[in-house]
Structure 1
Amino acid sequence: MLPGLIWYFVFRYLPMYGIIIAFKNFNFSKGIWGSPWVGTKHFQMLFHNPDFYSIVRNTLLINVYELIFAFPIPILLAIMLNEIRHTLFKRTIQTVVYFPHFLSWVVFGGIIIQLLSPNDGLVNYIRGLFGLKSIYFMSLSGYFRPIVVISSILKEAGWGAIIYLAALSGIDPDQYEAATIDGATRWQKMLYITLPGIRNTIVIMLILKVGYLLDVGFEQIYILYNPSVYDVGDVLSTYIYRIGLQGAQFSVTAAVGLFQSVIGFVLILTTNWLARKFSEVSLW
């Protein structure tokens, strides 16, 4: 455990020292301690900025959509893979669905953009075969969030299924044999053996996922969005990049990051309390 503990201490706990930047008017020449204290000035500025609420709304909506549509996909995929009996076919499917995870968003996002291109994209080519007009998917606000969710599913569903496959391997095969003797169908086995067998894993993963409701991956959004979809695609991570790195307002971005962390912590506490109250599983 030592390497993992050292990594967390160096990259997760030591940087917490920089949180105080959110309460200072940070200046490079004066350093963190030498910069003047401004209290909650940056937080007040954020909460009085109407654009900030739009960005928070975009972040929440994208994450809620992913929670509703993307979260169940790895579970369903793991169950389907578990039902495949032909070993070679099963391993081939696993390789295919795992592979996108190892591509960077620069590569995978470029593939998505190319597929949706209005001129030579595959999707619009198929539409053209049916006499339909080309759609500028990447420039229309109404399509951006579905594209983000679907691309997340295509890239990460296979990798996310691994943990559920591991949980499925822990189910006693005798339960399936007993169910077969009792005349249970495959659907009944899945409903009364498979799903209850991985319920604990599902609850834990759901709690962790809820904690990230205010955190959307920067690379994915940055690669896919453009100025024409800022109204629905600008999220906290891209806002931090634009204000912090491009605008050099480090104190403001530290305030945004602290806001994200506090809300995420509250969400995890709340979800864990609900899980402990209504089930037998929780993080603690």
Structure 2
Amino acid sequence: MKAVSKRFLFKYVDLYLMVLPGLLFLIIFKYVPMYGVVIAFKDYNLIQGVMNSKWVGLQYFRELFLFDEFPRVVRNTLYISLMKLIVGFPAPILLALLLNELRLVRFKRAVQTVTYLPHFISWVVIGGIAVDLLSPNSGIVNKALEVLGLQPVFFLSDERLFRWILVYSDVWKEAGWGAIIYLAALIGINEELFQAATVDGAGRLRQIWHVSLPGIRSTIIVLLLLRLGHVLDAGFEQVLVMYNPVVYDVADIIDTYVFRVGLGTMQFGLTTAAGLFKSVIGCVLLLLANYLARKMGEEGVF
């Protein structure tokens, strides 16, 4: 038995070595930091350390839920995340379907490259571009409005517009990258199904509706489940580089609140409690969504 195990181990040693970097990354950056969750239940002192700090139980959670700003922060997080889900989740699906219909291979590759390149641009750069484009004094958008005889708009300081700027900049950045997965799923659909639909008289729109979309249904559901699990992740980097005190009432989310309060006032226990609250809610939503997917006949995530 031991000989069989050793042979099996050495037979796939190359695959184990390929998995090792990802496994180490997961352990070091995902599991080891979970040790810090204990801070949410302690009066953390930098000198005493995590384990020697005084245990306070659920004190910070009580303070968190009684804090005036926290309900607003949670509401902003949900609002922005749901806006991104409603507008942003269908965008890569639609883009993939459109790209799949292109017959000129070179043009298709060019469009695909142009649409997924923004994914590699950091939010710091995109935030700077947004400020330059939307500046009320020198921004090209307001210059165009002036030419049309309209008054300049303070886009990044307008509470009515700021959330939509977050949503559409996120779609511009990530839609092309997300479309890659759906394009791979579309390529896997049996070509005979499209031929049969053509014989039955179905046009391109009918083929998309009755062949393409059902063919990638499982992929859509899995990615939707993963997205629901991160519904409280409204985009920390994006909001941090683009928001300002004028729009705190509509743009301050859990992550930016934890960042400001944790580093600004050194309330590590309170902000760790907020982060733990967010993680627990995300886990519950993922389990619920996975359960509903299984009830609908899909495999789900696990």
Both proteins in one fold, TM over 0.5: yes
Residue in 2 that maps onto 1:188:
206
- 1:89 aligns with one of 86, 95, 107: 107
Instruction: Give, in whole Å, the separation in 1 of the partners of 2:182 and 2:122.
Output: 23
Alignment partner of 1:235 is 2:246: no
Instruction: Give, in whole Å, the separation in 1 of the partners of 2:109 and 2:264.
Output: 45
Residue in 2 that maps onto 1:63:
81
TM-score in terms of structure 1 length: 0.97
Superposition deviation, residue 176 in structure 1: 0.9
Are 1:139 and 1:226, in contact at CA under 8 Å, matched by a contact in 2?
A: yes
Bigger shift: residues 119-128 or 103-112: 119-128
- 2:119 aligns with one of 101, 105, 115: 101
- 2:66 aligns with one of 48, 57, 60: 48
Q: Tell me, which stretches of 5 or more residues in structure 2 are unaligned?
A: 1-18
Q: Following superposition of structure 1 onto structure 2, how do residues 1-284 of structure 1 map, counting pairs within 5 Å? A: 1-284=19-302
Instruction: Give, in whole Å, the separation in 1 of the partners of 2:55 and 2:240.
Output: 33
Instruction: Give, in whole Å, the separation in 2 of the partners of 1:5 and 1:54.
Output: 38
Aligned pair count? 284
For the aligned residue pairs, the C-alpha RMSD in angstroms reads 1.0
Bigger shift: residues 176-185 or 32-41: 176-185
User: Percent of pairs identical after alignment?
Assistant: 52
For residue 258 of structure 2, what is the amino acid of its counterpart? I
Q: Deviations over 1:16-51 (max 9, x none)?
A: 111111000000111111000000000000000120
For residue 5 of structure 1, what is the amino acid of its counterpart? L
For residue 182 of structure 1, what is the amino acid of its counterpart? D
Superposition deviation, residue 191 in structure 1: 0.4
Instruction: Give, in whole Å, the separation in 1 of the partners of 2:132 and 2:107.
Output: 29
Residue in 1 that maps onto 2:7:
none
Q: Deviations over 1:231-271 (max 9, x none)?
A: 00111111111111222211111111110110000000111
Task: Tell which structure's C-alpha radius of gyration is larger.
Answer: 2
Instruction: Give, in whole Å, the separation in 1 of the partners of 2:297 and 2:204.
Output: 26
Instruction: Give, in whole Å, the separation in 2 of the partners of 1:79 and 1:279.
Output: 24
TM-score in terms of structure 2 length: 0.92
Superposition deviation, residue 95 in structure 1: 1.2
Are 1:203 and 1:281, in contact at CA under 8 Å, matched by a contact in 2?
A: no
Instruction: Give, in whole Å, the separation in 2 of the partners of 1:31 and 1:56.
Output: 30
Bigger shift: residues 209-218 or 229-238: 209-218
Instruction: Give, in whole Å, the separation in 2 of the partners of 1:151 and 1:96.
Output: 15
